[in-house]
Chains A and B, each alone.
Chain A
Amino acid sequence: MTTPQKTIIDCVTGEIVTRDFNETELTQFEAETAQIKKDATAKAKAEKALADKQQTILDRLGLTADEFKTLIG
């Protein structure tokens, strides 16, 4: 992956500097990205577990998901 770039604009002088992320910024960015992936995986897992549980109940009742929606609609 290409190193992300950072732009710094001085609001007083108007000077603009563009450079690669430094080590601290890169570490922070990678930590954030890893946490986002971890959260997304956990969320997907939880959603699948809930869907499986709902399907188990529907199977026990002998209803499809659409039929259940009609009942509670």
Chain B
Amino acid sequence: MANTQTTVPTFIPGQVLEASQLVNSAATGVPVFATTGTRDAGFGGAGEKALAEGQLCYLESTNVVQYYDGAAWATLAPAPAVSSGLTLIATGSLSGASTTFSSAFSATYRNYFITINEMTCSAGNPDMYFTLGAATTNYAYSQMYVDQARAWSFNQGSTSDSKIIMNNMASTDPSTANIQIDQPFLTNETSLIASGLNYQQSQWFQTAGKHNANTSFTSFTISNSTGATMTGSVAIYGFGI
């Protein structure tokens, strides 16, 4: 290609600088190499610049700009593929008595994090339900909650249920819930841990639950025990593997 070079020349005092010597090196700005192999061979040889920290290059083989940090080459741009951390998959709003988020889980991520903010319901303080896919059996969970206003704590759970009770919803002060789901897309058991808060009732919830059958899920549903109309903002993140 037009800009490809195989060497980054160096110059000595008194040397006659030919125009041809500038075509690739100086006129291109950042030296362009076909591969990492020709890049490595382009420095340090006779008449070549010594490789040093801060050096830039462009690789045609992968279309990336790299920099040398003094010990190794690292990709500057485009950004390297995300291999760790959280990636926002989708956002949505709770609506009606039941809201399903379809195509939320895939092979791209193993674990997921779901945040639900400003969660309210039309009346009362119904339990918030969490289900996976179309499954209405094989759920088990344990839940503990602390009721600061009434100065007591309580626990409940089930070893065989049609849903996981996650939280308690409020009709005035919004509630919140954070849910971590482990490997819902893999064809095995799916587990989750969640924390929730009901401001109206001064209650804090901690729930651990699982779906006990080896099933691959792509969706989840938030609903409630009374069929009350819900509102709230939902964000779904995938954990990089």
Where the two chains meet, the residues of A that have a C-beta atom closer than 8 Å to any C-beta of B are 1, 4-14, 16, 18, 21, 25, 28-29, 32-33, 36
Contact = CB atoms under 8 A, between A and B. Distances in A.
A33 B227 contact: yes
8 closest Cβ contacts across the A-B interface? A5-B96, A4-B97, A11-B90, A7-B95, A9-B92, A4-B227, A12-B103, A6-B98
A14 B103 CA distance: 10
Contacts of A10: 102-103
Interface in B29-86: none
Interface of B: 89-90, 92-104, 136, 162-163, 225-227, 229, 236
Given A9-B90, A11-B89, A11-B103, A32 B98 contact: no
B99 A7 contact: yes
A6 B219 CA distance: 14
25 contacts: A1-B227, A4-B97, A5-B95, A6-B98, A7-B95, A8-B99, A8-B100, A9-B92, A9-B93, A9-B100, A10-B103, A11-B89, A11-B92, A11-B101, A11-B103, A11-B104, A11-B236, A12-B103, A13-B103, A18-B96, A21-B97, A28-B162, A33-B225, A33-B226, A36-B225
A43 to B, nearest CB: 11
Contacts of B236: 11
B100 A7 contact: yes
A6 B103 contact: no
Contacts of B136: 28
A21 B98 CA distance: 9
Contacts of A4: 96-98, 227
Given A7-B96, A10-B102, 16 more contacts: A4-B98, A7-B95, A7-B98, A9-B93, A9-B100, A11-B89, A11-B90, A11-B101, A18-B96, A29-B97, A29-B227, A32-B162, A32-B163, A33-B225, A33-B227, A36-B225
